[in-house]
Structure 1
């Protein structure tokens, strides 16, 4: 891990910048553990954040003014966020960009088209989203109980995407190793697996994060659309149609017959997006390479990495945490 003299050369997502006394007081009052990649993870409102992202979480909670009609894509990290961001942008803006051969997704990384709220608010307070095209699309990894109060008080919609925790863990392990500076070496599978099972991972515990939105989707189905990555992979046209109906922009019969659904799915496919120049050479403003977000998410790929004991342990936790609430993976 870097020393303070090295930190200035680190990409933004690993920096722990000088903060206010109020923030420093908070940090020393909450649980802290060593992160997978950043120096520290801090447990706030029951979930774990890097020092940098926690600053953005607090600012977002305080300053975001959600409006009726806003759409929030909420995901657990490494559950297919990049793919669904592209799908949602193409779906909601299909009238504005009917020609998929001249589409913003061909020249912009999906993460650049949907503001990632807690990252946008790092070091900022007065962000102006009023000029965004209606409906405004936002993305976040925040758990339900940490969403800004204005989200609860408005008539906005939440689309929640999650994934089998075994595949989540392996994808997260690969992703964080991609982001680690070369001289740090790769993180241990066994060490990070232990942290994941204890819930000490970015926005973890996974099971608590999922359960909050699952319960909300059952109680308020008009407000929360709960989607599993595996469902989207197995039945993309069916899920895209359901998503359009939930968002209030259903496909017309003419659109169905002219192949608009298939055009959107082709535009947003892994094969298409991963081969675009912008997604192979660009970086997010926080420093992550676009290419790091494109690892083919095969269902069940975790079986190539986890031991039988690891599989049994995650399955046992999932059984204990989720099955009694009717949620299975």
Structure 2
């Protein structure tokens, strides 16, 4: 869509400085954008812009997480749970032909495009409700409109050891695609321990959503990756109940929960053609999203001194929170 065409314009985020990219013929468009209410959402100089009556709806669902903590899996499960009546036949299910990130768009990467020459890839005003979105943004940095609405947030966290190893592997794959030098685990681990990550430190990210889930359990559902792997049936039911679409006794008897778990399993998703080929974002291949999905794989990467250091940081940061992680050694 051309930048001058405002007919179907809904909203997008951009850097204020990029507004200067408009030519003289687009002055009316520029004036309109400058007049719109905006909400800062955590990335420097980036905002949500409000247009044609769109803020989050109370029926919206946001899947939130740190990168590499089970986001792809939780998006798939959430999509399958809320849309189980629309797609009762698993033979033609959208998750068989589309990556879960395509079905549950990211607020910061898909819905709000950060270049002035592009517009949202998703017609957010016409999405079937409940609308599903994803985000890696810390809770404190979410737009006020999201935090104050009644939309629901499902947050997943993962053992910080496995999270780090998965993140390090993922970023090195991306670096190769951009011809950047690979990052040694020793150098990168020090940054991780200092909380240097593009979405903030692991512990601050986790505590932000954990504390909100305690204060507003009807607003935020806090889950752990390891618990979901250990007892998928129970936690899939928990998600459905939180989203006010609990499974009926008939559905449980007919194996609907088990079918959803199998459809969204790591093995199933990794083997799909839709997840083997193509890119997710710029130079991020879809197969990068599926590595091992194991609990305790960190032991093959982290030295004893690294484990000791990170363990002390975790103990200090999460002291008094009631949050703990099983460490497989």
TM-score band, normalised by shorter chain: 0.7 to 0.9
| Contact in 1 for aligned 2:213/2:220 (Cα 8 Å) | yes
Shift of 1:126: 6.7
2:309 corresponds to which residue? 313
Post-superposition CA distance 1:288-310 (Å, at most 9, x none): 11111011211111111101111
The range that moved more, 198-207 or 58-67, is 58-67
1:259-270 maps to which residues of 2 (within 5 A)? 259-270=255-266
What residue number does 1:102 align with?
92
Q: For the residues of structure 2 that align with 1:277 and 1:241, how far apart are their CA atoms?
A: 29
CA deviations 1:32-66 (Å, max 9, x no partner) are xxxxxxxxxxxxx997x6xxxx56xx233767610
In the TM superposition, 1:187-202 aligns within 5 A as 187-202=183-198
1:56-95 Cα offsets, whole Å, 9 max, x none, are xx23376761011110000111001001111110111000
Verify the 8 A CA contact 2:162 2:298 in the aligned structure 1: yes
Cα deviation for residue 22 of structure 1 reads: 8.0
Q: What SS does the corresponding residue of 1:112 show, helix, strand or coil?
A: helix
Structure-2 separation of matches of 1:276 and 1:22: 39
1:214-254: CA deviation from partner (whole Å, max 9, x where unpaired): 11111111111000000001010010011110010100000
* 1:144 and 2:134 are equivalent in the alignment: no
3-state SS in 2 of match to 1:181? helix
For the residue of structure 2 that corresponds to 1:324, the secondary structure is coil
State the Cα RMSD in Å: 2.3
1:93 aligns with 2:83: yes
1:184 CA drift (Å): 3.2
* Residue pair 1:61, 1:149 contacting (<8 A) in 2 also: no
Q: Does 1:244 align with 2:240?
A: yes
* Alignment correspondent of 2:106: 116
User: For 1:243-293, what per-residue CA distance to the aligned partner results, in whole angstroms no more than 9, with x for missing partners?
Assistant: 110010100000000000010011111111101111111112433111110
Check the 8 A contact 2:174/2:283 in 1, yes or no.
no
d(CA) in 2 for partners of 1:82 and 1:255? 25
Q: Return closer, same or farther for 1:310/1:232 CA change in 2, 3 Å cut-off.
A: same
Higher helix share: 1
Query: For 2:195 and 2:49, how far apart are their aligned partners in 1?
Result: 23
Separation in 2 of the partners of 1:197 and 1:46? Answer: 24
- The verdict on how the C-alpha distance between 1:250 and 1:20 changes in structure 2, with shifts beyond 3 A counting, is closer
Tell me whether 1:161 sits opposite 2:156 in the alignment: yes
Structure 2 residue aligned with 1:12? none
Q: Is the 2:104–2:132 Cα contact (8 Å) retained in structure 1?
A: yes
1:65 corresponding residue in structure 2? 55
**Unaligned segments of structure 2, at least 5 residues:** 1-13, 21-39
- Give the structure-1-normalised TM-score: 0.81
Residues 79 and 163 in structure 1, CA contact (< 8 A), matched pair in contact too: yes
Structure 1 gaps, min length 5? 1-17, 25-44
> Out of 253, 268, 275, which is 1:257 matched to?
253
- 1:20 deviation in Å? 4.9
For residue 153 of structure 1, report the CA deviation from its aligned partner.
2.5
Query: Are the structure 2 counterparts of residues 288 and 83 from structure 1 closer, same or farther at C-alpha, using a change threshold of 3 Å?
Result: same
Q: Which runs of 4+ in 1 moved over 4 A?
A: 61-64, 124-128
- The question of whether the paired residues in 2 share the 8 Å contact of 1:115 and 1:137 is answered with yes
**Cα displacement (A) at 1:322:** 0.8
Aligned residues: 285
Match of 1:217 in 2: 213
